[in-house]
Amino acid sequence: MTGSPPDHRTTGVSGPGGSPVPGPSLGHRRRPVERGIRIFLATCGVLSILITAGIIATLAFEAVEFFRQVPIWGFLTGTKWSALIQPKTYGVLPLVTGTLMIAGLSALVGVPLGVGTAIYLSEYARPRVRNTLKPILEILAGVPTVVLGYFALTFVTPVVIRWLFPGTGFYNSLSAGVVVGVMIVPIIASVSEDAMTAVPRALREGAYGLGAGRMTVATRVVVPAALSGIMASIILGLSRAIGETMIVAIAAGFRPNMCANPLEGCQTLTGFIVEASIGDTPQTSIDFKAIFAVGVVLFLMTLVLNVASQRLVRRYRQVY
């Protein structure tokens, strides 16, 4: 003989006549916890928005004070930057040029290596090899950038760059760009590999069934299907390269110029921020406010890349 299932809404205590005494249900016990989690998550979201708004407001306020003394058109179109020494000039184009050069060189190194690594891990590597290489990539992503900067200064420049291009200066953009490219490889490889792994197995099996080889499947089936994730990883890596500080400050030097020769030193937007921050610049001076004006330019550059990334993802995204 089977009885009725126990009622979870009762306490298990019998009242007069043997009837169970109603108790708090499981749903009632969960509601305060769920409400607390919801409040905590909402608080985190609001705090992130407020922090971002505070950063933007600080940059904007100090930048406005700077542009009250320096014409904004001359700042954006000037080809000479000398904010900390006499004669002082505030043309930001040399810093923008150096930043774009480092980012471009890093893309030439990081994108092929990152995407190639992702293709290998997703389509060629055995599970044991993949489980070994993934932690190594994560370790590379965790190496402090100051260590990579001195690696560029003490090994890449004297051993590699000068062997290929004799007479290269101690500070040069090529060394910084190569090491920054190595730095963004884990970012591109990890995100791209996740996007490729998410491609349905049925697409691969269909291509194999039509007689396609592994390389054809990888390059003509998997990569196009995961293109949105790959593009997002590349934009994310470029944003990281543009905002890199210590590698470019150590390896590329602090010489702002409009030279397009990667074998010469240059100064980036972040490089100037480091140079001005470690000095004895008074906080009320125009030189100190120039840090925030440069920060606004850097913020706008990364914002454009992020917006472009979102549009590319929406355009090429394929839902399975």
d(CA 124, CA 144): 30
Residue 121: name the closest of 190, 168, 220 by CA.
Answer: 190
Pick the range with the lowest mean pLDDT from 107-121, 230-244, 282-296: 282-296
Rounded to the nearest 5 percent, the helix, strand and coil shares of the chain are 70, 5, 25
Q: Give bridge partners of residue 89 from the DSSP assignment.
A: 82
pLDDT tier, 26 (very low <50, low <70, confident <90, very high otherwise): low
Are the CB atoms for 257 and 54 separated by under 8 Å? no
Three-state secondary structure call for residue 14: strand
Look at residue 34 in the predicted model and tell me its pLDDT: 83
d(CA 263, CA 178): 12
- 194: buried, middle or exposed (CB in 10 Å: 19+, 13-18, 0-12)? middle
Pick the range with the lowest mean pLDDT from 5-19, 88-102, 153-167, 243-257: 5-19
Inform me whether the pLDDT recorded for 112 exceeds 90.
yes
pTM of the model: 0.80
d(CA 170, CA 21): 84
Inform me whether the pLDDT recorded for 18 exceeds 70.
no
Q: Which residues contact 258 (CB under 8 A, 6 or more apart)?
A: 79, 93, 94, 97
d(CA 204, CA 53): 45
Percent of the chain exceeding pLDDT 70 equals 88
Instruction: Give the pair of three-digit tokens for residue 296.
Output: 């606004």
Residue-wise pLDDT for 152-202, tens only, equals 988 998 989 989 888 888 888 899 999 999 999 999 998 898 888 888 888
CATH annotation of 76-316? 1.10.3720.10
Are the CB atoms for 89 and 71 separated by under 8 Å? no
Encoded amino acid at 301, one letter: M
Residue-wise pLDDT for 207-262, tens only, equals 888 888 888 888 888 888 888 888 888 988 998 899 888 898 888 888 888 877 88
pLDDT tier, 27 (very low <50, low <70, confident <90, very high otherwise): low
Between 129 and 18, the more confident residue is 129
Instruction: Give the pair of three-digit tokens for residue 68.
Output: 């009250």
Q: Give bridge partners of residue 22 from the DSSP assignment.
A: 10
Residue 76: name the closest of 100, 96, 61 by CA.
Answer: 96
d(CA 210, CA 3): 60
Inform me whether the pLDDT recorded for 295 exceeds 80.
yes
Residue-wise pLDDT for 40-78, tens only, equals 999 999 999 999 899 889 888 888 888 888 888 888 888
pLDDT tier, 25 (very low <50, low <70, confident <90, very high otherwise): low
Strands (E), 199-296: none
Percent of the chain exceeding pLDDT 90 equals 19
Look at residue 8 in the predicted model and tell me its pLDDT: 46
**Distance, CA of 314 to chain centre:** 19
Three-state secondary structure call for residue 217: helix
Are the CB atoms for 102 and 148 separated by under 8 Å? no
Compute and round to an integer the Cα radius of gyration of the chain. 28
